[in-house]
Structure 1
Amino acid sequence: MEAEKIDNSLAELIDTKLQFNFKIDKDEISQHKNDRKIAFKSYKTQVVERQGNNKKWKK
């Protein structure tokens, strides 16, 4: 009886820990995707600014 309680408690702790780790992994993946989006937007902004600067000088 005592051993079953301990086993159940350990199984519950392991399950909780796994769920927590999966949530952290999802959050990290989500953060990396956002970082890439921000970097791409920054790159696009730089390209547009360069094109605008080139137009000013060509006149």
Structure 2
Amino acid sequence: MPQLFALAALAVGGYVLAKAVRREMNRVEARVSKSAADKAKRERVATLERDPDTGRYRPREG
């Protein structure tokens, strides 16, 4: 019977730990996403144009 209590305690502890880890991961992901969105708003994105000679895309000059 004591083994059953220990197993139940481990299961509950694992559940609580998994829930805390998931909550922390969501918090970090939200912070990183917000930071990336803020950075994207601040930085200017270069327009690409195709170079007819090489066929590669390069940032537009000017």
Say yes or no: TM over 0.5.
Answer: yes
More strand by percentage? 2
Structure 2 segments unaligned to the other structure (5+ residues): 45-62
TM-score computed with the length of structure 1 as normaliser: 0.69
Structure 1: unaligned runs, 5 residues or longer:
1-13
Q: Which has the higher helix share?
A: 1
Runs of 4+ in 1 over 4 A off after TM superposition: none
Tell me which of the two structures has the higher relative contact order, counting C-alpha pairs closer than 8 angstroms and 6 or more residues apart. Answer: 2
In the superposition, the TM-score normalised over structure 2's length comes to 0.66
Q: How many residues align?
A: 44
Q: State the identity as a percent.
A: 2
- RMSD over aligned CA atoms reads 0.9
